[in-house]
A = this chain, B = another copy of it.
């Protein structure tokens, strides 16, 4: 089944509202194995709405609209849908009673135009709205289906979940299952090159590469009669990809590096302290995002000044004078100092030049040293990050967490 999602609302066109419904419906339809080829946003304009709907039906069998079901005159989704299916609008008594009841409940007075919301296309299925006044509608005729949902997500989502999803599931012959492999330390193009042969060879499952912030992602999607069948089609492909990337694949599905590293710290029950210069607390903050981290993350320092590095961490003055604050030697002493002063098994430290200023000879903006000490063994990694101050700091945090993750897996 070919589907399109149409959001009706000038407030979205003007940017006053973010179209989160489109993402929600896209995810749900993908899970149902319904292909979505287009998402469109159109304003509350009769002609353009009609053009959009008719054009969409010229290439798709299923159109899901959000919005334009309200009581005001410029809410025209039902009228336009009725026109396409050549059905007149008739009053739905039950919908009308529910609207009256809704207003009694909320103690608000029902205005005449609210009655407009109870009119629905003849021969349609009414989706009664438990979270608002506008009922949704399903019309099905000549192999074409239109599903009209209200605009506010708190009405759209439950109505889809409880009434539309079961309706669509019944008609789906195939199910689509995806596995998302998250890859760290490999650029998008390098990643694609590494699996190009697989991508070219596969049709079902398919392999789609993309990049997100500091990471690269491979999505494997299989189409099959059952979820189990789809999963077993994906398994060997995923295995082959794991063989090629190993620990570069840091996780699957919806998660992020700080979550994975924090979970690993908790699993290994390794206590950690952080010492930060250029990342300025962002490393600690990333770990602290994870609830329950307090049992292993005991202490962090943001030793921005040389004095703080000496006082808080015991970094030697000679080291700072001889090699500078941004150096492998300082990173080493910071990591060890963090672990020693906090009495933790792990010390993780960052020192670098986030820019835009602060560059010195042989020390360009983006130069970052990461120090990591685990159970008394200390290593230092030298990195060069590009981008603005924010990007450099973000990548430094990401790289530090990724390195810690890889070491914990050894």
Contacts and interface: CB of A to CB of B under 8 A. Distances in A.
Interface of A: 9-20, 22-30, 36-43, 45, 48, 52, 55, 70-72, 102, 105-109, 111, 113-114, 130-131, 152, 154, 187-190, 192-193, 208-213, 219, 274, 276, 279-285, 287-289, 291-294, 297-305, 307-308, 311-312, 341-343, 354-357, 366, 384-391, 393
A23 B18 contact: yes
A18 B18 contact: yes
A113 B193 contact: yes
A113 B188 CA distance: 10
A389 B287 CA distance: 13
A248 to B, nearest CB: 13
Contacts of A280: 281, 284-285, 287-289, 297, 300
The 9 closest A-B pairs by CB, nearest first: A280-B288, A300-B302, A15-B26, A281-B284, A281-B281, A15-B27, A281-B285, A39-B41, A299-B308
Contacts of A209: 72
A252 to B, nearest CB: 14
A12 B37 contact: no
Given A39-B40, A130-B388, A299-B303, 13 more contacts: A11-B210, A13-B26, A15-B27, A38-B42, A70-B189, A105-B386, A108-B190, A280-B285, A280-B287, A299-B301, A299-B307, A301-B312, A311-B341
A391 B133 CA distance: 14
B301 A300 contact: yes
A106 B385 contact: yes
Contact of A42 (B37, B288, B307, B343): B37
Contacts of A279: 285, 288
Given A23-B19, A26-B12, A187-B108, A285 B282 contact: yes
Contacts of A152: 211, 213
A14 B30 contact: yes
A255 to B, nearest CB: 13
A22 B102 CA distance: 35
A297 B304 contact: yes
Nearest to A365: B105
Contacts of A211: 70, 152
A55 B51 CA distance: 12
6 contacts: A15-B28, A22-B41, A39-B40, A114-B189, A281-B300, A299-B307
A354 B294 CA distance: 12
A51 B155 CA distance: 33
A180 B286 CA distance: 31
A109 B102 CA distance: 63
Contact of A312 (B72, B299, B354, B355): B299
Nearest to A193: B111
Contacts of A109: 190
A24 B15 contact: yes
Contact of A189 (B40, B111, B287): B111
A275 to B, nearest CB: 10
Contact of A300 (B17, B24, B304, B388): B304
